[in-house]
């Protein structure tokens, strides 16, 4: 059944019995080992490819009731997963994990004792993770989640491809499984621990970042490439970038000469934000603003005939994309003026039917719905507030990352 068919909330005792049956199955999956053939249909997935530009990302679409059970279990044991993953693997569900990693690494990089930051790219890490090692380690690292992981991953998973072809998944996690990120976080904990004390590091899933002096980061990279095979993690040197301060560039070129890692002094994209000098950050932001302005213009065309649909897409989808950037990059208000111009002069006028929007009306529309507004925020007015709020909220986790 699809998700619509599972919305069974109004059939009295029958709905309650169904919920109780799902709960009983979830408890059994978490507390006892079940013969794999019994779960063959439960773990089977439809396999689809997503375009990574370039390359493909295989996504497994599982049965809806498996996702219901997995999400429920993940919600219950979230605190256990976060505690087991610690502060250096921030994909386990820590509040503001990626934002804390961005703030912490920016702070470490700009410190006087640091020369560089290495952004490590991995080859299809979710599908190459050593499954046997991860399941074994999960019993020691996170017992609360280990039984359900063993039940659903200890044998090959059948993947159905359009056209009738079948592929057996024997390594890694199934991207699309609600427990995949937690399993990946637990699976990389021993790898992260083996690299501790060499330089300052933080991980978000398979995206690893190391910072410090040139020699420290080189030792960290050398150790990572040495032990990665034991955990099914494969570094991709040609897509990994070393961001160095200008005065350390010559040393970096000598030390990393034969590594295949690319070197830059300007900066690169880091976890959805930008890390580097002001010129790089400004160029990155302008590119994002142009992209979002085009998307707002597309919504403007829709708003003329379907205003509610356009409004929903704007407030529940598009705004979230730039809110993350506002929270992770500081002092960018002036760069967001073209975006606000399109929102005010094009989107709002199409949405409301008015020819012009006054400053007072614009301020009212930017208010949250609970205060009588429409939550159509002005990015130029909210940028500094978002960044300062993010820094305050993530300060404890960012401090743990800085202190390793």
Instruction: Report residue 172 as tokens.
Output: 């890694």
Can you tell me the distance from the alpha carbon of 404 to that of 397, in angstroms, rounded to the nearest whole number? 10
Q: Which residue range forms the structural domain that includes residue 70?
A: 13-275
Number of domains forming the structure of the chain = 2
- List, in order, residues 6 or more apart from 172 with CB less than 8 Å away: 124, 125, 126, 127, 128, 129, 131, 232
Question: Of 275, 292, 311, which residue sits at a domain end?
Answer: 275
Q: Do 125 and 246 share a domain, yes or no?
A: yes
Of 61 and 297, more confident = 297
- Residue 86 and residue 111 share a domain: yes
Q: In which order are the strands placed within the sheet that holds 45-51?
A: 56-62, 45-51, 157-160, 166-169
Q: 326 and 345 in one domain?
A: yes
Q: What percent of the chain clears pLDDT 90, i.e. is strictly above it?
A: 38
Mean pLDDT, the chain, integer: 88
Claim to verify: residue 240 and residue 342 sit in the same structural domain: no
- 68 and 118 in a single domain? The answer is yes
CA of 98: how far to CAs of 52, 71, 122, 205, 328, in Å? Answer: 21, 21, 18, 10, 9
Structural domain ending residue among the three candidates 275, 292, 315: 275
Residue 397: pLDDT above 90? yes
Residues 90 and 216 in one domain: yes
Q: How far apart are CA 244 and CA 254, in angstroms?
A: 13
Identify whether 2 is part of a domain: no
Residue 6 lies in a domain: no
Cis peptide before 54 (omega within 30 of 0): yes
3 belongs to a structural domain: no
C-alpha count within 13 angstroms, C-beta hemisphere, residue 171: 11
Please give the pLDDT value at position 9: 65
Same domain? For 217 and 335 the reply is: no
Which residue's entry shows tokens 């509610």? 308
Give the tens place of pLDDT for each residue, 110-133.
Answer: 888 889 999 998 887 777 888 899
Q: Are residues 83 and 169 in the same domain?
A: yes
Residue pLDDT, tens place only, 162-190: 878 888 888 888 877 889 899 999 999 99
Prediction pTM value: 0.86
Q: Is residue 95 assigned to a domain?
A: yes
Distance CA 291, CA 321 (A): 11
Is residue 375 scored above 90 in pLDDT? Answer: no
Whether residue 123 is contained in a domain is answered as: yes
Please tell me whether residues 306 and 178 are part of one structural domain: no
Tens of pLDDT along 234-249?
Answer: 888 888 999 999 898 9
Residue finishing a domain among 245, 275, 305: 275
Do residue 156 and residue 298 come from a single domain?
no
């Amino acid at each position: 059944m699809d998700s619509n068919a599972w919305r069974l909330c109004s059939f009295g005792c029958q709905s309650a019995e169904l919920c109780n049956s799902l709960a009983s199955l979830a408890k059994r999956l978490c507390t006892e080992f079940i013969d794999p053939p019994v779960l063959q249909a439960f773990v089977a997935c439809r396999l689809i490819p997503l375009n990574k530009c370039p390359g493909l990302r295989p996504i497994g679409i599982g049965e809806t009731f498996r996702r219901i059970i997995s999400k429920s279990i993940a919600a219950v044991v979230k605190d256990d997963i976060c505690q087991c993953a610690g502060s250096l693997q921030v994909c386990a569900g820590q509040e503001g994990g990626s934002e804390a990693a961005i703030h912490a690494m920016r702070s470490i990089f700009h410190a006087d004792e640091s020369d560089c930051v290495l952004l490590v790219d991995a080859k299809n890490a979710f599908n190459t993770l050593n499954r046997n090692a991860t399941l074994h380690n999960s019993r020691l690292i996170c017992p609360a989640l280990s039984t359900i992981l063993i039940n659903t991953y200890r044998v090959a998973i059948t993947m159905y491809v359009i056209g009738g072809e079948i592929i057996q998944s024997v390594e890694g996690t199934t991207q699309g499984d609600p427990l995949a990120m937690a399993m990946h976080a637990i699976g990389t904990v021993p790898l992260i621990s083996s690299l501790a004390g060499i330089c300052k590091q933080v991980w978000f899933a398979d995206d690893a970042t190391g910072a410090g002096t040139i020699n420290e980061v080189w030792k960290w990279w050398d150790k990572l490439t040495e032990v990665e095979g034991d955990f099914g993690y494969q570094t991709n040197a040609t897509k990994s970038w070393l961001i160095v301060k200008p005065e350390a560039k010559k040393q970096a070129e000598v030390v990393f000469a034969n590594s295949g890692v690319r070197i830059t002094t300007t900066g690169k994209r880091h976890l959805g934000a930008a890390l580097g000098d002001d010129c790089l950050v400004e160029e990155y932001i302008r590119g994002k603003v142009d992209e979002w302005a085009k998307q707002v213009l597309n919504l403007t065309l829709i708003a003329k005939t379907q205003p509610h649909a356009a409004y929903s897409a704007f407030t529940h989808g598009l705004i979230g994309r730039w809110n993350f950037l506002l929270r992770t990059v500081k002092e960018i208000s002036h760069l967001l003026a073209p975006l606000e111009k399109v929102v005010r002069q094009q989107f709002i006028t199409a949405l409301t039917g008015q020819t012009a929007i006054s400053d007072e009306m614009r301020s009212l529309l930017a208010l949250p719905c609970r205060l009588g507004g429409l939550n159509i925020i002005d990015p130029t007015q909210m940028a500094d507030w978002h960044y300062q709020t993010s820094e305050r909220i993530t300060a404890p986790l960012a401090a743990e990352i800085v202190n390793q």
